Structure formats: structure tokens, C-alpha cells
Amino acid sequence: MTGSIPCLLYHSRMPKAAKPDLFTFVAEIALQNGQPVPITCNCGGVITIMPPMQEDLVVCPRCESRIKINVLSGDPGYVMGMTPDGETMLIPVQGSSKEKLEISAEERHRVLDEIKQKGRGKV
């Protein structure tokens, strides 16, 4: 590592090489259907992506946030995330099936608890 220069900096001079402001998760099944997938931004703006995805970075038409899209295989429903305070939270995977997404607040708490239990042993 001695004397290594981060040469990526020198090569990333393309005007589009901007950092994403936000990121979201999209279920692979939604893309496999071949249907447009609406991505809801934090501001309430909706960006529709069309499979097959050409870009994994979209811009919200309302607040102009750049949103990085991470495609997750299958129909995960929710994934575990972390708030800036380090609290575990569930992030909805956009495009997941309704059965997976529309769970009650109780169910959500139960899933969160499970994740926390599991996470305790690790790291």
C-alpha cells in the first residue's frame, strides 16, 4: 500500500461520474416481469424504471436526488438497514410482492427483533 496513489480519481473525469445521494433496493422479480417499476423517492417523487435496466442510477424529477438502484434477487420484501444513529431498520425492497411488503406493524417489529437477535452473535 505504500505510496499507492488513488488513480481512480484521475480517471473519473466523466461529467456523469457523480456520487449517488440516495440508494434504494429493487426486487429482481419486478424486473423479470418486464413491467415498469415505480421507485418512490423519500420526497414522494416517483421515478419509473423500465427493465431491462440500462442504468443503476436515476435522478428524482422532484428533488433531483441521484438514486442508486441495487437489484436484489428474488422477492425479498424487506432488507435490513441502518439509520444514521446506528438503529436497525427495515427497508422496503421496491417491486417486491404485495404479500411481502404489506405486513402489519407488529409483523415488522417481529422481523426486526429476529434480525437483532441474529445480529447479536456476529461481528
Residues that bind Zn ion (CB under 5 A): 41, 43, 45, 60, 62-63, 65
CB of 22 to Zn ion, least distance (A): 8
In the bound state with Zn ion, the residue whose beta carbon lies nearer, of 60 and 93, is 60
What SS3 class is residue 119? Answer: helix
Which uninterrupted H or E stretch holds 11? helix 8-11
Q: How far is the CB of 6 from Zn ion (least distance, A)?
A: 31
Residue 81 CB, nearest approach to Zn ion (Å): 18
Distance of CA 20 to the CA centre of its chain: 11
Q: How far is the CB of 58 from Zn ion (least distance, A)?
A: 10
- 111/108 Cα distance (integer angstroms): 5
Of the candidates 42, 32, 43, 52, which has an alpha carbon nearest to the alpha carbon of residue 95? 32
Q: Residue 72 has which C-alpha cell? A: 436484489
